[in-house]
Structure 1
Amino acid sequence: FFIMTDYFDIPTPNYNLTVPYDNIAKILEYNAQNYPQNQFLGYLNPEPTFISYQQALSIVNSISFSIMQKNVSKIGFYAPNCVEFVLLDLVCAQTGIVFVPLYDTQPQEEIKLMVKEQDLKLIFTTEKLYKNLSFKEDADLFFLDYSMTNQESHEFTFKKLIQTQKYEEYAQNAIFTVLYTSGSTGVPKGVMLKQSAMLSTAYNVSKLLMKPFKNVEQETILVILPLAHVYMRNMIYAGMFNHNRFCFPSADLFKSFQIFQPTFLIVVPRLMQKIFMVLKQQIPNIDQLQKEINEFHANYQMQNPEYETIATTPDVMEQKRFSFETETSLKVQQFLGGKVHSITVGAAPMDRNLSKFFGYSLNCSMMEGYGMTETCGAIACNNLLEHHWDSTGENLGHGMRLKLLKDTSETSQSELPQSEQTVIGELQVKSEAVFSGYFGQEPTPEWFSTSDIFEYNLVTKRLRILERNSRVCKLSNGEFVMPSRIEEIIKQFVQTDQFCIIADGKLGRVVLAAQDCLKITPEELYKSLKETTKLKGFEIPKLFVIDKQWQVGKELTQSLKIKTHQVKKRVWGVIEQNNPDAFAVVRVE
């Protein structure tokens, strides 16, 4: 295999992309001038209601004028997803005010920390969430009017900000937004990002990931994921480059699929698992459909070994589309609106069987990418015209320099799975898209370390995430364990990612902690892992801790990733009390 001396430079694709704007609000202005009647934002009121790009520009200009009268340098946003988030985001881009969005599901103690740390004097919120801000007595609170037509009795409402005067573009501050990390690896940190950084990533994504290959007049994207997360927010900027439409679903997500008929889905694996479980409840024969898809895929792969190669044009891609169609798959398509042609998955690796199910049943492209809040989202992604099931894609390009650092910890390179075609190391990034630093801490070094271990394929030029560096564990017997590798194997049996592997060197064991949703029993899983996988004995969990339910803000992040350290803290007492050499199943209420 390839031996790194110090580091390996990952080639940067030469896409020759030049970002045409220096301000996100200018994308709105361009669309308002060139596509004035195109629908921009949609919501239910209670009937479907839409704001055009031209109308949105008028609203943003008016709010900019009003907000400047408040003489604030930062705006906080503490509410569920709504059109007002997008409008205020554009207001801040236009005026140079720093935008600080907060998750509406964040624990109150974390909200308190963030609001005080940023010293927010103006916060947009809802009456329902107001009580969580009672400690901030010196802040002006604007209560959001979700329908934009209802009259509110409160002294301050969002609607009252919309004046008739037009406010011209204001000089930018260096920092455009402060986004707090999800806390999957510890305490949330304030990530400071510039507009140039957000624009760089969004423009690349718009050209490489979101360019439609079907005859779609205007892409419709359902805003399901939280806008306080960089992933969904940057995908909106990217979609604006292509003058797309963004619709906000009601509490009944599947009714919203029927009403808005999205063409492009932006999701995380856990959301797709929830959709899959609903499909199983609502549509007969889903298990049979999944079996047929797996068989079809195996046969197709044998007959077309080149199917994962890059298609050079949309026409070639259309010819390579999977010709799979059954009565049940057509029902799945209609259940999700009937028009979905592409799905982008981020935040965590997608189970391959789940990817195949939706890719075939919807006859759509399944694309995975990798990124972080600190890099404005995507670092690497699969192109719309590719099929690479087990990859996070190639270097996003446009000045994005990536390198893999040689492992300098006590973990040996020989302990990691390698071949003659791959290079493995910790991923580092140097780019205009990299953040300016954590709030209240030192500036970012020239090269930002992701703390994630990646495999780079020298032939396909694709990256694949293996593990977070902090999760690689050396057991008391001297063996190294990579929890993510074990988790990927287990997913084949349980068909969910609502579990995690906890490896602890002190106790010398591997533990599986899960919500009570595994498809098979722990006893059946343990037997299958022993008899049908290549896992070594010390890699197979003997202790299974089954939890009733994990909660967002505690065991789960706002983007529904598992906080492994919180799960470990929750079940640690159970782990300590059980014999490491004996098989055991413990249920926690």
Structure 2
Amino acid sequence: MTPTHPWIGKWPENLDFSKQSVQVPGTTRPGQTSAYRGTPFPYFTLADIEHYRTLPQIFDSGLQIAGSQTPFLGRRPVESHEPLKFANHYVWQTWGEIDTRRRNVGSALQGLFGSGAAVGTNGLDTVGIWSANTIEWQIVDLATSLYGKTLVPLYENFGPDSIEYIVNHADLTIVFVQAHNVSALLSLSPKLPTLKIIVAIGETSATQKELLDAWSTQRGVRVITLAELEEMGAKAPIEPPNVTPETVATICYTSGTTGNPKGAVLTQGALASATYSNTCGMDFTPFAVPVLLSFLPLAHIYGRTMEMCVILAGGKIGYSTGSPLRIIQDMQVLKPNFFPAVPRLLNKIYQIIAANLEAPGLKGALFRRGVAAKMERLKATGDYSHPFWDRLVFNKVRAALGGNVALLTSGSAPLNPQVQDFLRVVLSCTIIQGYGMTENCGTCTRCIPKDPTDGGLVGFMQPVNEIKLVDVPSMGYTSEDKPYPRGEICVKGANCFSGYYKNEQATKETIDEEGWVHTGDVGLMDEFGRLKIIDRVKNILKLSQGEYVALEKVENVYATCPIVQQIMVHGDSMQSYLLAIIVPDPVQLARIASRVWKKPVNEADLAALDAAVKDDRVVKAILGVLTADGVKYGLTGYEFVKRIFVTNELFSVENGCLTPTMKVRRRDAQRKYKRELDALYALGEPQLEKIAKL
């Protein structure tokens, strides 16, 4: 039996918002703050817990809570391929069925490694998976953790160079691949000397299988389907070996914005303790168990950890249909109560809903009055509900996300405080911003629900973590700063990684002799013991007049502007002002062009939109909108973008401007737009444009 801990899913009564963390006595040293621990839940190490030390224990917890006959993993079936259409319901596999499938997959893997058909290296049996989020992704993860294998995820949108680097660096002999990418991996196989087996996930016709078999024979790589692998395991079941907290569960390659990705080595103990820590206070009231829509990439630690929390709690996971354009439709069908998201998506939702503030007539007036009333209540009490305005106005907004969302989390990048508070009142749900990184299983700090003053903060220390702030003299941040100590955020805990795979130098640069992980982020600790991210150690630009600018901070301000679909802010230490590359939202671009040209422009008229981004008058109007937002959010003079280049070409993984986690590859984007940026600087320093009244 796996008992449920008394504080999982519950917050202590009478929380003191003014004391969210405390300093650990005897830990103060010159050049750094004391270590801080959170106060809402007891701090713990792996030695303090018994039942959440490995990933199989996490699954056992969920199985005990849910029972073997309860639906667990589901997908919307395809009703037609031409045109592509999905059913308006989910088809589910039960906990018992998934348990059987993970054991079959695990038994087959154990047999392959045992026979030498698959080969381990450096003491690890590494297994790759290159796939979008699917039921099968989760089954492979559950199987590898049960049988002590090390899963190496590859992002679905990785290009050939990244695939080649990781397969070779992680010494992968067996890789699970979605059927449509099998041929792509086979084409790379001459450059992948360790690759021996490809397991095809998804439907493969007899003709396709015959062609792949012929090609794989030529390449010396065996191709089998997942169904065939499961049949192998079912015919020759093998009892799982004993795994320990020290067993390496995964190597997660960070999709860095420069250079080759680094593989963070994460143990079962790290992932299990992170999962347990996150479920402390993970309240889905009024629902008994979480129901989650899986669309955040499972190759990213944030999405993966959130799904493990659902597994621990015995919940349900419905997998998205794969397209960002269908996320809302998927939510309306699934009706999830737990919605882990990222600022990029939340900014888009904010822009869509905020348009109601400008709606004419009674509808707009009611929406504005409702937002104002609920915002006043939120700021005063932290309560985001209102019996009158929710029933009259905002339940319709909630229905767009399925109607049941009770808990929304935001991670991977800062969420604008205005966006956070606006979504709280219009969606009438708990929104918690957290902070973490791959190197600590996406787990470090988070906010407390209904904290009325947590806008822009990332909250208290997770119960598994300690943090401290270390001076950054070159940037003027010290632990003695007033009113709040500031410095580089360093984190320690059972959830932290053990190092970078085959990269001792990078490991030493990140983990110090006392085991503290240096994050590269700069934070401050406020008077309530809450952390705020204020800077990045490496992404700082010094302008020619001596002012320092945090480019990501400026981007996060402008990213909430409705006209902005994508943005990269650029600076040059030889110049005194900033530039930006803007990819505009087509709907907003059409509106601005219509006003400037004094004639209607349709957002579907691609020729007109291309003409608009080349029109100096339209570009000037867009800059005016950006400037107005900069004023609203309190940017200082040197933080304003003074000139912009506008393009309709999206930043993408394919053109080298985005990482697979949708972060801007700054160096590559600057190289791509070097001519345009140089041309803008050649115009000379402008005066700050007058705010356009559009």
2:144 alignment partner, one of 68, 92, 98: 92
Q: Distance in 1 between matches of 2:539 and 2:289?
A: 43
Supply the distance in 2 between the matched residues of 1:570 and 1:467 (Cα, whole angstroms): 26
Name the aligned partner's letter for residue 269 of structure 1: P
Deviation of the 1:270 alpha carbon: 1.2
User: Which among 339, 346, 351 is matched to residue 272 of structure 1?
Assistant: 346
What is the CA distance between 1:486 and its match in structure 2? 3.2
Cα distance in 1 for partners of 2:565, 2:584 equals: 12
Q: Distance in 1 between matches of 2:348 and 2:443?
A: 24
Q: Structure 1's 417 and 475: CA in aligned 2 closer, same or farther, altered over 3 A? A: farther
- Counterparts of 1:466-477 in structure 2 under 5 Å? 466-477=534-545
Matched, 1:254 2:334: no
Letter matched to residue 139 of structure 1: K
Matched, 1:177 2:257: no
- Shift, 1:221, TM fit: 0.4
Matches within 5 A, 1:45-56: 45-46=77-78, 48-56=90-98
Q: Which of 640, 643, 648 is the equivalent residue of 1:543?
A: 643
1:23 aligns with 2:54: yes
Matches within 5 A, 1:325-364: 325=390, 327-364=392-429
TM-score (norm 1): 0.86
Q: Does 1:373 align with 2:425?
A: no
- The answer to whether the Cα contact below 8 Å between 1:402 and 1:428 also exists between their aligned partners in 2 is yes
Does the CA contact (< 8 Å) of 2:297 and 2:303 recur in 1? yes
User: Does the residue aligned with 1:6 lie in a helix, a strand or coil?
Assistant: coil
Query: Displacement, 1:369?
Result: 0.4
The match for 2:455 among 389, 392, 417 is: 389
Letter in 1 for 2:652: Q
Say yes or no: does 1:263 pair with 2:364.
no
Question: 1:136 and 2:189 equivalent?
Answer: yes
Match for residue 277 of structure 2? 204
Residue 330 of structure 1 and its aligned partner are, at CA, apart by 2.3
Map of 1:184-223 to 2, 5 A cutoff?
A: 184-208=257-281, 210-212=282-284, 214-223=285-294
Which one-letter code corresponds to 1:131 in the other structure? S
Unmatched 5+ residue regions in structure 1? 309-316
Deviates more, 1:340-349 or 1:379-388: 379-388
Question: Sequence identity, in percent?
Answer: 22
Q: Which amino acid aligns with 2:36?
A: P
* Deviation (angstroms), 1:418: 6.9
3-state secondary structure, aligned to 1:70:
helix
Contact 2:351–2:562, Cα closer than 8 Å, also in 1: no
Q: Kindly state the Cα deviation for residue 292 of structure 1 after the two structures are TM-superposed.
A: 4.2
1:536–1:62 Cα change, 3 Å:
closer
Name the counterpart of 1:430.
492
Per-residue CA distance 1:344-395 (angstroms, 9 max, x = gap):
0011111233323321122101110011001111211113454522211111
Q: What code does the residue aligned with 1:517 have? A: D
Q: CA deviation at 1:555?
A: 2.1
3-state DSSP class of the match of 2:443? strand
Match of 1:311 in 2: none
TM-fit CA distance, 1:545: 2.1
Residue 493 (structure 1) shift: 4.7
Residue type matched to 1:40 in 2? F
Displacement of 1:276: 4.6
Distance across 2 between alignment mates of 1:523 and 1:439: 45
Partner of 1:556: 658
Is residue 43 of structure 1 aligned with residue 111 of structure 2?
Answer: no
Aligned-residue RMSD, C-alpha: 3.2
Deviation at 1:55, TM superposition (A): 1.6
Give, in whole Å, the separation in 1 of the partners of 2:68 and 2:579: 57
Choose from 638, 642, 667 the match for 1:565. Answer: 667
Q: Cα distance, 1:108 vs. partner?
A: 1.7
Map of 1:460 onto structure 2: 528
Q: State the distance in 1 between where 2:392 and 2:297 align.
A: 34
Between 1 and 2, higher relative CO (CA 8 Å, sep ≥ 6) is seen in 1
Kindly tell me the number of residue pairs found equivalent between the two proteins: 561
Q: More deviation in 48-57 or 125-134? A: 125-134
Q: Tell me if the contact between 1:79 and 1:104 (Cα under 8 Å) persists in the aligned partners.
A: yes
Q: Structure 1 residues 188 and 530, CA, compared in 2 at 3 Å: closer, same or farther?
A: closer
Q: Residue 552 of structure 1 aligns to a residue in which SS?
A: coil
Amino acid at match of 1:522: I
CA distance in 2, matches of 1:352, 1:238: 26
Matched, 1:158 2:210: no
Letter in 1 for 2:76: L
Gaps of 5+ in 2: 1-27, 79-88, 119-124, 213-222, 593-620, 690-694
Give the structure-2-normalised TM-score. 0.74
Amino acid at match of 1:547: T
For 1:211, give the aligned amino acid. Answer: D
Within the alignment, does 1:299 sit opposite 2:376 as a pair? yes
For each residue in 1:32-58, what CA deviation from the matched residue of structure 2 results, as whole angstroms up to 9, or x when unmatched? 345222322111234521122222111
Deviation at 1:244, TM superposition (A): 1.2
3-state SS, counterpart of residue 465 of structure 1:
strand
Q: Is this contact kept in 2: 1:543–1:583, CA < 8 A?
A: no
CA distance in structure 1 between the aligned counterparts of 2:393 and 2:566, rounded to whole angstroms: 26
The separation in 2 between residues aligned to 1:418 and 1:284, in whole angstroms, is 43
Amino acid at match of 2:524: E
Match of 2:164 in 1: 112
What is the rounded CA distance, in whole Å, between the counterparts of 2:159 and 2:517 in structure 1? 29
- Is 1:440 matched up with 2:487? no
Is residue 521–residue 533 contact of structure 2 (8 Å, CA) maintained in 1? yes
Higher gyration radius (CA)? 2
